[in-house]
Amino acid sequence: MNTTQINQELFTFIQNSPSPYHAVASAASMLESHGFQPLREQDAWALEYGGRYYVTRNQSSLAAFCLPEAAHAGNPSFHIIASHSDSPSFKLKENGEMTVENRYTRLNVERYGGSILAPWFDRPLSLAGRVLTEENGHIESRLVNLDQDLAMIVNLAIHMNRGINDGYKYSIQTDMLPLIGGCQPPVSVRAMAASSLNLAESAILTMDLFLYNRMEGRIWGASREFIGAPRLDDLQCAFASFRAISGQVHPDLIPMAVMFDNEEVGSQSRQGACSTFLKDVMRRISLSLNLTEEGYLRALSRSFMVSADNGHALHPNYPAKSDPGNHPYLNGGVMIKYAANQKYTSDGISSAIFRAICRQEQIPTQVFFNHSDVPGGSTLGNLSASQISIPSVDIGAPLLGMHSPYETGGAEDTLSLVAAMEAFLKTRIEYEGEQSFRLLPMEKSR
């Protein structure tokens, strides 16, 4: 797999994932083509040794896992890669069409997550998400992508806002409402959604629709060294995790790739990283392996999580914003993120283990610390740890312009990310005690 191929594959995944619900559907189809079977939380699970499975919650979070063969199931440990399905966007409010002087129709939207607002202007946007329909006594949630150049958040001319380049403060309720059409015929998003599903408009009960940027992913730069795409945070990590778990994994491990929704709004939802989703799936796996409570707790103590969320490269125009000594570069490899306040979970032990795994495969890694005067973000690992306490490291690919609707990354870093995740799922970590570990890569394990 070369750089161009892997990035084209990534762009296709992103293109097919304009909303968190679509990201879950894209992941599911990728997994199913590699033999993973869907499970439902409502059903009793009859899992088989050697089986590959995935389960979703709220259509927007997904957990995939593989069970070892019976002969390898005696001493299980979980190797988990966590990522997130959501990206900053705007959510359509109910009764969202607002007309102006009977000439224009705008959409009433609210902010989802912390976007950089300015780059959302003057580019073709569309709407995607899910609609809840009622037909023949069934309420059903169906994916919708109004896959056309449909709306635009239009700037005010500089002649009418001379201060636009002097640090303008945007109002979400005034500045960020996209223009979607005229008034004759009247615009109805509900009607468009219904027609895309071949349904009567009256069949739609509610809608969860988000704006998305229509621009496709591209490889660019003088030597094609960069990538640009919407939602690289965090679909680049999610894509890499599902690719890794679809390949060869260590026979003694229970590898998991879990993609949570709602990271961009604090993870406090039924399906977010603060929820019981991952814990519930892990408990059910351990029940199906007939582990006792102690057996489950012992498995946890042997387990490891890679919390995978993209981070910040040194910006060429703003080098002073980065830590003076530890600032990743695009194409410098997988970044390991540290924060003394534990917003990132990496510590000496967990990052030593992860670095050793990467080193054995010659996968480049680099280190990220926040500039001490620039508070950084939070991510999945420390939140998930409030539910399941296992050793964890925070990693990701370096980005520029994070939370822009079009983010910039390094073309080589997609490969490094996939390779690091593959290596992690092919390596068993033997805990010889609190402070001693041995890596058992697949070839040498038995």
Residues at the contact surface with Co ion, assessed by CB under 5 A: 233-234, 309
Nearer to Co ion, 309 or 394 (CB): 309
* Inter-residue contact 87 to 259 (CB < 8 Å): no
Instruction: Give which of 407, 398, 399, 324 is closest to 365, Cα–Cα.
Output: 398
Give dist(CA 156, CA 151) in Å, integer. Answer: 16
Nearer to Co ion, 233 or 412 (CB): 233
Nearer to Co ion, 83 or 145 (CB): 83
Nearer to Co ion, 68 or 328 (CB): 328
Find residue 52's DSSP bridge partners.
66
**Shortest Cβ 262–Co ion spacing (Å):** 11
**Shortest Cβ 233–Co ion spacing (Å):** 4
**Shortest Cβ 331–Co ion spacing (Å):** 20
Give dist(CA 421, CA 261) in Å, integer. Answer: 20
Q: How does DSSP assign 371-424, residue by residue?
A: -TTS-----SHHHHTTTS---EEEEE-EEESTTSSSEEEEHHHHHHHHHHHHHH
**Shortest Cβ 95–Co ion spacing (Å):** 31
**Shortest Cβ 370–Co ion spacing (Å):** 15
What is the maximal distance between C-alpha atoms in the chain?
75
Nearer to Co ion, 21 or 53 (CB): 21
Query: Under 8 Å CB-to-CB from 218, ≥6 apart: which residues?
Result: 11, 227, 228, 229
**Shortest Cβ 428–Co ion spacing (Å):** 28
* Inter-residue contact 344 to 359 (CB < 8 Å): no
Instruction: Give which of 85, 131, 126 is closest to 109, Cα–Cα.
Output: 126
Nearer to Co ion, 102 or 341 (CB): 341
Nearer to Co ion, 175 or 234 (CB): 234
Q: How many CA atoms lie within 13 A of 1 on its CB side?
A: 14
DSSP 439: E
**Shortest Cβ 309–Co ion spacing (Å):** 4
